[in-house]
Amino acid sequence: MNRERIGALFAQALDLPESQRADWLAAQCAGDEATRAEVERLLRADAEVGDFIERSPGLVADAAAAARGSGAPSAFGAWRVLRSIGIGGMGEVWLAERGDDEFEQRVAVKQLAYPTPRLLQRFRQERRILARLEHPHIACLIDGGLDARGIPYLVMEYVEGVPITDYVRERVPELRARLHLFLRVCEAVQYAHQNLVVHRDLKPSNIFVTAGGTPKLLDFGIAKVLTTGEADAPTQTLARLLTPDYAAPEQFSGGAITTATDVYALGVVLYELLADARPRRFAPNDAASAEPPPPSTAITRGTGVAAARRRQLRGDLDRIALAAMARDPARRYPSAEALAADIRRHLDGLPIAARPASAGYRLRKFVVRNWLPLSAAGLLFAAMAVATVAVAWQAGKARLAAQRAEAVQGFLVDLFNKNSTGQKDPAEARQTTVRELLDIGAARIEESLDIAPENKLALLRVFSDLYANGLGDGYPSIPLLQQALALSADLYGEDSVESASDRMRLARPLMEQGKSAEAKALLQAAAGTLDRRGDRTSELRGRLHAAQAYAFLDQDRRRAREEADAAVAVLRKHPPSRDLVRALIYQGWSADGQAAMESLQEAIRVSRAVDGDRDPMLMSAYASLAKLQRNVRDYDAAESAAREALDLSLKDRSEFNYDRTRAMSNIASIQFSGGRIKESLQSARLAKEWLAGPAGGSDNPAISADVLRTLAVTLGAAGEFDDALAEASAAVKILRETTSDSRLAPALLVAAYRLAELGRLPEASAALEEARAIRERTKSASSNGHVPTQIHMALDFGNAQQARVLLEEYPRGDAVGREAEFVSFHRTVLEAEIELQGGDPVKSARLASTLGERMRASDIARYLRPVIADSDLIEGLARLRTGDAAAARPILERALAARIDLYLPKSPRIAEVQLALAECALAQEKRAEAMQWVEQAAAIQAQHSSLSPRYTAPLQRLRERLAQR
């Protein structure tokens, strides 16, 4: 079949009145029924163009091929075609680049499949629309014109990214981050609406997100321009060619197309971002399909992450999504801005417009937003109940318990009254913070002489508990507990159960303050009391074992494990309690491997059964479980547990809650270990941002140093060497001031690695030596984290033999399971690099090739992307050294693609592969290409203050080679 003749006949037939086409075509195609049938098919397709929402790609592809004849276009004006990137509703889209060397730029060129009058009208409409839209989240119009056959084309910004749903599924698990991304999409849609443009085809495949997280709206090919102040006239469409999952009901029925049409599609996209699933498919004639189920019901039933996500969606977010997708346009949000405003209200804890403004609903919102100032009354009066139970347990008499409760309640009520009416300015008094109110109450307890001793003891315990539960800083509970211990000894005797209980209460904050000897003496005294009473199985004995386990965790893990095991054994004989949860957590902290994991998982189950998600220790259990799962390289499970800890921490509004900062930093570490460098950097930066905020933990040296060290690791991995060194140095400075050797050694190791990458090798060696000395002095657990850094430094100095010796220090096979695989892979890639630098490229290529095959075939390949990219670079360089440039090129191109995806654009690791490709191009006598690679690498390296010889030496060598020719 002659495509060129079909295209010519089709174009001529379009110029004829429809009544004359059949006779004319019969005459032209006499004896050639196949050609006639094809032209008639194209004419029927053209007649159906109208206002279709989507065209059949098959029809368009056939028409495009018929119109252009044989072969793809090579250029559109100044733009050189690279390849086809898709078939759209009106034609084909091509990837092209600037062909006149004026500047470098890649674009998307959209060309009509065939110039029918209706398609030409639609195409010109799209060009006019794009010309009037200039927004950072809308792909912009760059150029346009006619090709040699007079067919128009548009040159648009080329967006290299993925659909928004794919992006969030792979990179943005956190709900708040998804909502913030969606708000930027709403901004772009609102901008279009303000310019009287309705997109009409909003869906994930038309909302791309770049690797840097920037959303871009695409494809305004079927957009409508509204008349000022009016809706678009009703338009009849064919339902069979719509996109049912995203089209609004009025697009099926021929109703008015307004901004609410786009709001409906935004609602469907929002639904997908919330639930990772589409709402029920819309059926135009099915009344039951008028309203889809809420997004929370679309999440697979289960526990853990799924259950947490369902809880987050229930209520406001369910209502927002359903309001956007209302069948009646009048019940939807009137604009994208109105939809975005409700999402912002939800994020800020304010009542949303899509929900009835009941007094109860508004009150709940107010309480959540103002948790800290309101929690004084709630916490204090909740403490009354605790005090009542405690007193009842001690006295064993209901009448006495009632008297104690009445006395505690009277004290607290009097405290509030005097704070409001006893000051000159009652309005100022109402601004008293929770901590200030506690301080006032604690002072009154100490100073009062008229409080009955038993009541005073109860109040001392209540207030010390409140301080300990996140409302104190600087251990203010210690003086209160010391008074309580003295008072209980006076009331009940030095060797009483009450005194033993108060000694245990006081031991915990003393341990946290670093006074471990004093704390252990108190616990020993409490143990003596219980021993003399023959108490081996009471709950108090179980709590004592747990307290002793906690006291020995940092100094004697074997003893800590024994005490934790004893605590669990005793407390399991009693009803499930928070005490059992703590004992199980300490058991997990002191155990190893699977046993530790099982203890923490049981702690989580018991805590959920006893307290739901209210126990503060539940966060610690999830965080500890995440670290264990990370250590065995189960990164999916680890991140799930870490996000459970994060979700719990976000619900905790106490003044000194640092757990959300810890949790986000932990997530960053897990993502980094799993090879998700850019995501890890995003999480680490957020952790530092939270660190500096209210209740972020910046006043806690250990938290600050850990967050900064994690950020330094991720910055360095991503390619921000200078910033990474600054963060690592800040962490080292903090730890030097607090003399925390256990944390200083890892921070020094991170700083050493960053110094080595920047070429500051003597400083890096000094930092490494100090880290090793600390480990030997403190007899900390052996770690080989310094070995890769030392090996790379030896190779930078050109000492392959020293690198071989160092490699012998790297573990060979002590680990098991996934950990053994990781160790083997990392060790082999180091070995291949040493052989390459040591002058045996044949062996290096063999090692790297075999390693690459093993890693790609592994079930943990997705975690190994950085190591696979390293292996590919080494193999490519090794094959270059053996003179096989043709074999090296595809391997190096694969390494470059991986590193571009993994690291930031300024990463010297990207330049490292570019220089290898330049060497490959020279070997293939492609001098111009080599120069391009060299200049790209040089531009990257110029962004750093200094760099290791491993980066700079190849650039210098290649420049010298290029200058010689």
pLDDT digit string, tens, across residues 749-775: 899 989 989 999 899 889 988 888 887
Residues 103 and 201 in one domain: no
**Is residue 764 included in any domain, yes or no?**
no
Question: What is the per-residue DSSP string for 524-545?
Answer: HHHHHHHHHTT-SSSHHHHHHH
Residue 138's domain is classified under what CATH number?
3.30.200.20
Residue 254's domain is classified under what CATH number?
1.10.510.10
Model confidence at 850, pLDDT cuts 50, 70, 90, reads: very high
What is residue 913's predicted lDDT score, i.e. its pLDDT?
Answer: 96
Annotated catalytic residue within 201, 219, 318, 872: 201
Residues 286 and 143 in one domain: no
Note the pLDDT tens digit of each residue in 429-484.
Answer: 444 555 565 566 666 666 664 566 777 777 777 777 766 655 445 456 788 888 88
Q: Pick from 157, 186, 218: which residue ends a domain? A: 157
Residues 178 and 151 in one domain: no
Model confidence at 427, pLDDT cuts 50, 70, 90, reads: very low
**Is residue 117 included in any domain, yes or no?**
yes
pLDDT > 70? residue 85? yes
Residues 137 and 203 in one domain: no
**Is residue 606 included in any domain, yes or no?**
no
Residues 141 and 254 in one domain: no
Residues 255 and 322 in one domain: yes
Residues 152 and 181 in one domain: no
Residues 151 and 181 in one domain: no
**Is residue 268 included in any domain, yes or no?**
yes
Note the pLDDT tens digit of each residue in 567-607.
Answer: 999 999 998 888 999 999 999 999 988 899 999 999 999 88
Note the pLDDT tens digit of each residue in 196-254.
Answer: 778 778 899 889 998 878 899 887 655 555 544 434 443 333 333 356 778 888 877 77
The question of whether 201 is a catalytic residue gets the answer yes
**Is residue 843 included in any domain, yes or no?**
no
Residues 250 and 133 in one domain: no
**Is residue 580 included in any domain, yes or no?**
no
Average pLDDT, rounded, for the chain: 79
Residues 151 and 185 in one domain: no
Phi-psi region of 662 (alpha: psi -120 to 50; beta: other; left: phi over 0): alpha
In this structure, are residues 221 and 202 in contact, taking their beta carbons and an 8 Å threshold? no
Q: How far apart are CA 312 and CA 692, in angstroms?
A: 26
Residues 184 and 313 in one domain: yes
What is residue 394's predicted lDDT score, i.e. its pLDDT?
Answer: 45
Q: Give pTM, 2 decimals.
A: 0.56
Looking at residue 809, what DSSP letter applies?
T
In this structure, are residues 86 and 108 in contact, taking their beta carbons and an 8 Å threshold? no
Q: Pick from 342, 357, 372: which residue ends a domain? A: 357
Domain that holds residue 275: 172-357
- In the chain, % of residues over pLDDT 70: 74
Q: How far apart are CA 733 and CA 735, in angstroms?
A: 5
> Would you say 110 is a known binding-site residue?
yes
What is residue 302's predicted lDDT score, i.e. its pLDDT?
Answer: 54
Return the top range by mean pLDDT from 26-30, 77-81, 733-737, 941-945.
941-945
Q: Report the DSSP beta bridge partners of residue 153.
A: 111, 145
- In the chain, % of residues over pLDDT 90: 32
Residues 180 and 325 in one domain: yes
Note the pLDDT tens digit of each residue in 323-372.
Answer: 999 888 888 988 899 899 899 888 877 778 776 544 444 444 444 444 44
What is residue 457's predicted lDDT score, i.e. its pLDDT?
Answer: 76
Write the CA distances from 61 to 38, 533, 910, integer angstroms: 13, 90, 38
Q: How far apart are CA 591 and CA 581, in angstroms?
A: 15
Question: What is the per-residue DSSP string for 871-883?
Answer: HHHHHHHHHHHTT
Q: Pick from 126, 157, 188: which residue ends a domain? A: 157
**Is residue 81 included in any domain, yes or no?**
yes
pLDDT > 60? residue 387? no
**Is residue 873 included in any domain, yes or no?**
no
Q: For residue 778, which of 809, 724, 739, 804 has the smallest C-alpha distance?
A: 739
Total structural domains within the chain: 2
Note the pLDDT tens digit of each residue in 27-67.
Answer: 888 888 888 888 887 777 666 443 333 333 444 444 455 44
pLDDT > 70? residue 660? yes
Write the CA distances from 959 to 239, 440, 804, 941, 964, integer angstroms: 62, 73, 31, 14, 9
